[in-house]
Chain A
Amino acid sequence: MKLYSLSVLYKGATGAKLLKAAYDVSSFSFFQRSSVQEFMTFTSQLIVDRSQIGSRAAVKEQDYLCHLCVRNDSLAGVVIADSEYPSRVCFTLLDKVLDEFSKQVDSIDWPSGSPDSIRYTGLDAYLSRYQDPREADPMSKVQAELDETKVILHNTMESLLDRGEKLDELVSKSEVLGTQSKAFYKTARKQNSCCEIM
């Protein structure tokens, strides 16, 4: 039951911009960590880019579930978790983080912000604390259920793309992914699996 990444982004007119992110890739093999991290950035940006303002979504990709929230003020958050982690807690976390972020970082700074320029340090602590969902959110059992009908479910990343768009192309064009990561993607694609050997 794991959380892998927590990111705050801005959904601008020209595309999604990463403002700040925290990652936990400790469960991945040492040599795959940097690639995995880059992919999570890539995925988070892609999901926000392809989603409507004022929406919530959950995108399934193999054993991962990406939870997304795009607020009406274009501030967005993405949590990438494994399939065991309760979704309800992910959305609670997103609400909390985005709320705090919007109070600490002026909205004027969002459209032009980047991880280096943005002054917000809460993400690492949140990611760490929420690794144990019951520790972080003890009332989650009794609190009112989030209206899950409002969450759009995507069974694959592909379903987010426009007609004719291919994930392979987006990967090779991406500025977020390094050469090592792109090679990783190619290898995984060939073997029809990710992060597994055989």
Chain B
Amino acid sequence: MAESEEEVDVLVQRVVKDICNAFRRNPNIDEIGLIPCLEARYNRSPIVLVENKLGVESWCVKLLLPYVHNKLVLYRQRKLWLDRDALTDLTCTLLLLNPDFTTTWNVRRWVFQKIVQEICLPNSRNNSNSGMVSTEQMHRIIQDEMTVCSAAAGRYPSNYNAWSHRIWVLQHVAKCNLKILLDELSNTKYWVSTHVSDHSGFHYRQFLLKSVAGNSRSAAVTNTGSFLRKSSHKDHRTGLPAHPKDEGASVEAHTADVPLMIEEEMELCTDLIESYPGHEALWCHRRCVFYLWHCWNREHLQVLSDSNSRSDGTVNNLQMTTAGSYSSRGMDVDGAAETAKQSYTQETKRLKRGPSLDLHSLLEEHRFVDAILAGCSNSEQARFATAYRKWLDMVIGQ
């Protein structure tokens, strides 16, 4: 049945009104869903409310989405005014119907920026002057937004927009606060373990790892004071001083144990690769984490070997002085090189010039790949393992 543009407009406006009224009548609505329905029936509203679920008959969605999208675009172009409630309703509707809608996330970020400006003093670089109240509010707002992102990520595989938004919030609202980064690492561990083919989820963890490593690298202490004092988080991770009242804690006390963090991530990766064969996202993640480990080693061993240049600088010296080893099995690296000599002569000759801890890690990786290839019957897994080995040789082995 052909309808004129005006009729469609009137109809859609009524539908949007029905939706907004439903929200006002029932503030506990937690879900909007589609009711598959090819055509409108008997002039009935396509909006159905059952318990706390709002249903939208599918025939009207193709009319609703362009209308709402258009409104948002006009608002952004300042050709149309929408108050905060209307804006929230619109973006909420859009996100629930289509969690991958880029413009909606943009609007959400814009709203966020306004909130942040309201709460924070515009020229304070760190939050220590804002008082405990605003820090707590901020923390809560950030947590809520993480939940929104998580919910959106769960409804759509590899939801790039949801995860990018999550990163944006950490960068621009949480200002990459160390405790929050570490909390997020902990909070997303179960999620990625149950979404092993979600590239975006793992990319998020890579962002967290790199940020923590970067945080620890720089000498600046940013936003760590009030958060860490209130933290009941694992103390060994954040290196909290024994006396929480110690306000003048040094930088070292507020940095994370990066090698431990990377080691745990590698363990998680190993565990998932072994449990769930044939998922490329896991192998991609392994590359990123190992590469991070490789770069971290290079930087830190360089510093140490420079200061050790007078001493023996033997393998064992380096192994003991480096903060945390990749594998705490206490293997004698020379011994390992000896037994692996037959297979890896080229590698060992080349790598003996470099930091020996790296060689140890690299051999471990090769052993891991061999074990996977020996035990797996999944052709994809074999393919990914072989490609990973190639990458090790080409990128790390150089």
Chain A residues near B (Cβ < 8 Å): 1, 27, 29-32, 35, 63, 83-84, 86, 132-134, 140-141, 145, 148, 180, 183-184, 186-188, 190, 197-198
The distance from the CB of B273 to the nearest CB of chain A, in whole angstroms, is 10
The one of A1, A35, A183 in contact with B196, judged by C-beta atoms closer than 8 angstroms, is A1
Q: Sample 7 A-B pairs with CB under 8 A, ordered by A number.
A: A31-B35, A83-B197, A86-B276, A148-B378, A183-B38, A198-B62, A198-B65
The distance from the CB of A127 to the nearest CB of chain B, in whole angstroms, is 16
Which residues of the partner chain B approach A32 to less than 8 Å between Cβ atoms?
33-36
Which residues of the partner chain B approach A132 to less than 8 Å between Cβ atoms?
194
The distance from the CB of A145 to the nearest CB of chain B, in whole angstroms, is 5
B29-69 to A contact mask, C-beta < 8 Å, 1/0 = 00101111110000000001010010100100110010000
Query: Lowest 4 A-B CB distances belong to which pairs?
Result: A29-B33, A184-B36, A30-B53, A31-B33
Given contacts A29-B31, A30-B55, A145-B377, whether A35 and B275 have CB atoms under 8 Å apart is no
The distance from the CB of A150 to the nearest CB of chain B, in whole angstroms, is 12
Given contacts A30-B55, A31-B55, A197-B98, whether A84 and B196 have CB atoms under 8 Å apart is yes
Which residues of the partner chain B approach A134 to less than 8 Å between Cβ atoms?
275
Taking CB atoms and an 8 Å cut-off, the chain B residues in 167-203 that contact chain A are 194-197
The distance from the CB of B378 to the nearest CB of chain A, in whole angstroms, is 8
Contact yes or no, A183 B194, CB < 8 A: no
The distance from the CB of A143 to the nearest CB of chain B, in whole angstroms, is 12
B97 within 8 A of A: yes
The distance from the CB of A1 to the nearest CB of chain B, in whole angstroms, is 5
Q: How far is the CA of A148 from the CA of B31 in the complex (A)?
A: 41
Contact yes or no, B274 A141, CB < 8 A: yes
B277 within 8 A of A: yes
The one of A86, A183, A184, A186 in contact with B277, judged by C-beta atoms closer than 8 angstroms, is A86
Which residues of the partner chain A approach B97 to less than 8 Å between Cβ atoms?
197
Q: How far is the CA of A133 from the CA of B35 in the complex (A)?
A: 32
Q: How far is the CA of A148 from the CA of B157 in the complex (A)?
A: 27
Q: Which residue of B lies closest to A28 (CB)?
A: B33
The one of A30, A83, A197 in contact with B58, judged by C-beta atoms closer than 8 angstroms, is A197
Contact yes or no, A188 B65, CB < 8 A: no
The distance from the CB of B175 to the nearest CB of chain A, in whole angstroms, is 34
- Extra contacts, 4 of them, besides A190-B38, A197-B61 (Cβ < 8 A), are A30-B31, A84-B279, A140-B275, A148-B378
Which residues of the partner chain B approach A198 to less than 8 Å between Cβ atoms?
61-62, 65, 98
Contact yes or no, A188 B36, CB < 8 A: yes
The one of B31, B36, B53, B377 in contact with A187, judged by C-beta atoms closer than 8 angstroms, is B36
Q: Which residue of A lies closest to B375 (CB)?
A: A145
- Dominant SS among interface residues on chain B: mixed
Given contacts A1-B196, A32-B33, A84-B195, whether A186 and B55 have CB atoms under 8 Å apart is no
Q: How far is the CA of A86 from the CA of B275 in the complex (A)?
A: 8
Given contacts A148-B377, A197-B61, whether A30 and B194 have CB atoms under 8 Å apart is no
Contact yes or no, A84 B197, CB < 8 A: yes
The distance from the CB of A65 to the nearest CB of chain B, in whole angstroms, is 12
Which residues of the partner chain B approach A133 to less than 8 Å between Cβ atoms?
275
The distance from the CB of A32 to the nearest CB of chain B, in whole angstroms, is 7
Contact yes or no, A1 B195, CB < 8 A: yes
Which residues of the partner chain A approach B274 to less than 8 Å between Cβ atoms?
141
Q: How far is the CA of A122 from the CA of B197 in the complex (A)?
A: 30
Q: Which residue of B lies closest to A146 (CB)?
A: B377
Which residues of the partner chain A approach B34 to less than 8 Å between Cβ atoms?
29, 31-32, 197
Contact yes or no, B33 A30, CB < 8 A: yes
The distance from the CB of B255 to the nearest CB of chain A, in whole angstroms, is 33
Q: How far is the CA of A29 from the CA of B61 in the complex (A)?
A: 15
Q: How far is the CA of A134 from the CA of B53 in the complex (A)?
A: 33
Q: Which residue of B lies closest to A147 (CB)?
A: B377
Which residues of the partner chain B approach A63 to less than 8 Å between Cβ atoms?
157
Taking CB atoms and an 8 Å cut-off, the chain B residues in 253-293 that contact chain A are 274-277, 279
Q: How far is the CA of A31 from the CA of B33 in the complex (A)?
A: 6
Contact yes or no, B38 A187, CB < 8 A: yes
Which residues of the partner chain B approach A1 to less than 8 Å between Cβ atoms?
194-196, 276
Q: How far is the CA of A180 from the CA of B48 in the complex (A)?
A: 15
The distance from the CB of A165 to the nearest CB of chain B, in whole angstroms, is 24
Q: How far is the CA of A197 from the CA of B98 in the complex (A)?
A: 8
Contact yes or no, B195 A183, CB < 8 A: no
Q: How far is the CA of A133 from the CA of B65 in the complex (A)?
A: 38
The distance from the CB of A91 to the nearest CB of chain B, in whole angstroms, is 13
Q: Which residue of B lies closest to A133 (CB)?
A: B275
Which residues of the partner chain B approach A84 to less than 8 Å between Cβ atoms?
194-197, 276, 279
